[in-house]
Amino acid sequence: MTVTIARENAIAVVTVDNPPVNALSQALRQALVDAVAELDADATVKAVVLICAGRTFIAGADVSEFGKPPQPPHLPDVVATIEVAKKPWVAAIHGSALGGGLEVALGCAYRVAVASASLGLPEVKLGIIPGAGGTVRLPRLIGPAAAVDLVTGGSPVGAKKAEGLGLIDAVLDGDLKAGAIAFAENIAEKPLPQPISSREVAAVEAGFWENAEKAVAAKARREIAPLRALASVRKASETDFDNAMAFERETFLELRGSEQAAALRHVFFAERAAPRPPELAGITPRDIRSAAVIGGGTMGAGIAAALRDAGLPVVVIERDAAAVERGLANVRAIYEGSVKRGRMTQALADERMAGVTGGDDYGLLADMDLVIEAVFEDLDVKRAVFEKLSSVCRSDAVLATNTSYLDPNAISEGVSHPERFLGLHFFSPAHIMKLLEIVPTETTAPDVLATGFALARLLGKIPVRAGICDGFIGNRILKVTRAQAERLLLSGATPSAVDAAMRAFGLPMGPFEAQDLGGLDIAAFQRKAARARGETPFAPVADRLCAIERFGQKSGGGWYDYELGDRAPKPSEAVAAIIAEAAAGQPQRVWDEADIADAILLPMVNEATRILEERVALRAADVDLVKIHGYGFPRWRGGPMHYAEARGLAEVVSVLDRLASDGLAHPPCEGLRRSAEAGSFSALAK
């Protein structure tokens, strides 16, 4: 049963129970309409409380229905039915009232919530706009300016703030149901309030819409939904309710079928599936209640802050007292930065810092549940760390390496109880970046792997399982990105043209700007190691730049020139000359933005397909999550694999074939050709 009705004297309590999040499935929509009819007809009922079972109020429309034709009763009609009910409905909110859930609440005569509840219209994050009156009722209730913020930003607000905005009528302490019933008894005898739909929208100052448009456009870049949401709120302010509803619905239905919405839905479900991979179902992770980080550099400090933010006490281990001090200062700097940016109160920062201790004595780790090593990327140094950990830690303590390109199997050699060892590859800054690559070795036990995923959940990270290869998933693809970017330079494109094309595609930065920001030396160091292993990494121009110590912004020049104290990249004549020298004798061509994007992105897809074939990644969607959460790939493109599928894998293969015949990319791998025949990557890996 999705809806049950109980009576508390003259108050009817309508309880929605549609796990997991009370999404508005067709059955629930119908049940709500039926409930209104039943309670309208019941003369003993004076008011109605709408409350939800489980973890949350109605969290929105059922996103899984979005790929299919809408089924009646449609949500706008459900909301309208509640709004014209003969008895006042009181929405009693706990958890989240999101999207269609908030729209249902806006149909109610009153809204009350517990203090921990949050309310919002996150539709733009799914590439759509509210489709059941959210953009039309909200400005009538809280005014256009606040409505614009909520609708175009998509972030929810807490109950206290919602009360301040006039979005809810009361924040209730104690038991929600009892409080809502008392509230309902109180309003039952009063005249019904004016329905929101028949209220006026408050006037705005001259220039308000134009300014809002500029602000929203600047933030949204190439995402379409935020501007369309704004247009809908504006329409609601400038025309009558029915016209505004028709405009909203039309926009909603159009965007629901858009490519961006499909991509964002794909990411929505991939993100929710990632923390609980089916292959680990039923495996109980180990308990993690304490953690230590070996190494207090940038990475170690970021990991320590991430662990501490999740509520764990953290110990930072360094070589000697001075290094311990530096490590703790690095962690403190992270919290001080958060206070400065207004993200955290000083009191909270102090409390976090109080839970981070340091030392140079491995004996401190005797009873730790988890130890993450984040020392210098050198096999011998890392092995020495794990040798010490093997002798001091409990035999069931989970031991992890944060290596980004050494082989975790090699690092784990000699570790006692190697089944408790795994790779946890954080991305910098580790307390902010959401991606966590989880890398099992040949010996990692299933419950230790499950502990990696449980840790990611605790830390609020997106975990992706990665097999062992050079660079795991993300950096292995990054190497292809960079190699392709250089191939483009050798065949006539300039660094600024390549960067501009990738920004136009939706990346926050192009590959050359990004290298200048991060420093070219790290990749040079890795190439040196790769050459020592007998590999032949392709970086003819980057190698030349590193040879003359053009390492990027930090050395005053890299792919671009920089003026002192200015981070704006300036095209460099010196680099142009180096490129010309490296390109001597190669055929030159004219590149437009779309061709540049293809020459970089499609080889990335090809490499990712190899990664799937080798089972270094288990699912195409995992590759998408890696690129979105670790490398700034635009969410609204759905990640490279979704992008390739949406574009058509047959076309991807034919473009790659063309690039390959011009010597500008490797030809499509076998798996990509097979996937193109099947029309998706799903046959390759699930």
For ligand 3H9, the binding residues (CB under 6 A) are 20-21, 23, 55-56, 59-64, 75, 96, 98-100, 103, 122-123, 126, 130-132, 134, 269, 272-273
CB of 60 to ligand 3H9, least distance (A): 3
In angstroms and rounded to an integer, the radius of gyration of the C-alpha atoms of the chain is 28
User: Dihedral of the CA atoms 4, 6, 11, 15 (nearest 10)?
Assistant: -30
Residue placing its CB nearer to ligand 3H9 in the complex, 60 or 88:
60
CB of 374 to ligand 3H9, least distance (A): 28
Residue placing its CB nearer to ligand 3H9 in the complex, 24 or 375:
24
Residue placing its CB nearer to ligand 3H9 in the complex, 61 or 672:
61
CB of 479 to ligand 3H9, least distance (A): 33
Residue placing its CB nearer to ligand 3H9 in the complex, 248 or 561:
248
Residue placing its CB nearer to ligand 3H9 in the complex, 29 or 487:
29
Query: Whole-angstrom Cα distance, residue 386 to residue 393?
Result: 10
CB of 465 to ligand 3H9, least distance (A): 17
Question: Which residues have a Cβ under 8 Å from the Cβ of 391 and sit 6 or more positions away?
Answer: 416
CB of 76 to ligand 3H9, least distance (A): 7
Residue placing its CB nearer to ligand 3H9 in the complex, 227 or 303:
227
CB of 130 to ligand 3H9, least distance (A): 4
203-236 CB burial, b ≥16 within 10 A, e <16: ebeeeebeebbeebeeebeebbbbbbbbbbbbbb
Residue placing its CB nearer to ligand 3H9 in the complex, 264 or 292:
264
Question: Which residues have a Cβ under 8 Å from the Cβ of 300 and sit 6 or more positions away?
Answer: 293, 294, 316, 327, 330, 374, 375, 402
Two tokens, residue 367: 């009873």
Residue placing its CB nearer to ligand 3H9 in the complex, 463 or 537:
463
Residue 359: what residue type?
A: G
CB of 402 to ligand 3H9, least distance (A): 26
Residue placing its CB nearer to ligand 3H9 in the complex, 278 or 556:
278
Query: Whole-angstrom Cα distance, residue 409 to residue 421?
Result: 9
CB of 447 to ligand 3H9, least distance (A): 21
CB of 686 to ligand 3H9, least distance (A): 16
* Catalytic residue chosen out of the listed positions 103, 163, 607, 645: 103
Query: Before 73, cis peptide (omega within 30)?
Result: yes
Two tokens, residue 674: 């097979």
Question: Which residues have a Cβ under 8 Å from the Cβ of 6 and sit 6 or more positions away?
Answer: 12, 13, 15
Query: Whole-angstrom Cα distance, residue 49 to residue 246?
Result: 29
Q: What is the torsional sign of CA 345, 312, 627, 381?
A: positive
* Catalytic residue chosen out of the listed positions 8, 38, 83, 123: 123
Residue placing its CB nearer to ligand 3H9 in the complex, 98 or 498:
98
CB of 274 to ligand 3H9, least distance (A): 10
Query: Whole-angstrom Cα distance, residue 302 to residue 284?
Result: 27
Query: Whole-angstrom Cα distance, residue 43 to residue 47?
Result: 10
Residue placing its CB nearer to ligand 3H9 in the complex, 275 or 667:
275
Strands 570-571 and 560-561 turn out to be antiparallel
Q: What is the DSSP string of 44-100?
A: T--EEEEEE-TT-S---B-GGGTTS---SSPHHHHHHHHHT-SS-EEEEE-SEEETH
Q: What is the DSSP string of 425-493?
A: EE-SSTTT--EEEEEE-TT--HHHHHHHHHHHHHHT-EEEE--SSTTTTHHHHHHHHHHHHHHHHHTT-
Residue placing its CB nearer to ligand 3H9 in the complex, 269 or 376:
269
CB of 154 to ligand 3H9, least distance (A): 8
Tokens 């490519």 belong to 259
Contact between residue 136 and residue 232 where contact means Cβ atoms under 8 Å apart: yes
CB of 28 to ligand 3H9, least distance (A): 11
What are the Cα distances from residue 80, in Å, to 77, 227, 270, 378?
5, 26, 33, 65
Tell me whether residue 103 is one of the annotated catalytic residues. Answer: yes
Residue 445's nearest CA partner among 403, 399, 384, 413 is: 399
Two tokens, residue 137: 């009722």
Q: Is 417 exposed, middle or buried (0-12, 13-18, 19+ CB in 10 A)?
A: middle
Question: Which residues have a Cβ under 8 Å from the Cβ of 533 and sit 6 or more positions away?
Answer: none
Strands 89-93 and 96-98 turn out to be unpaired
Which residues are paired to 13 by β-bridges? 6, 49
Strands 462-465 and 570-571 turn out to be unpaired
**Residues belonging to the active site:** 103, 123
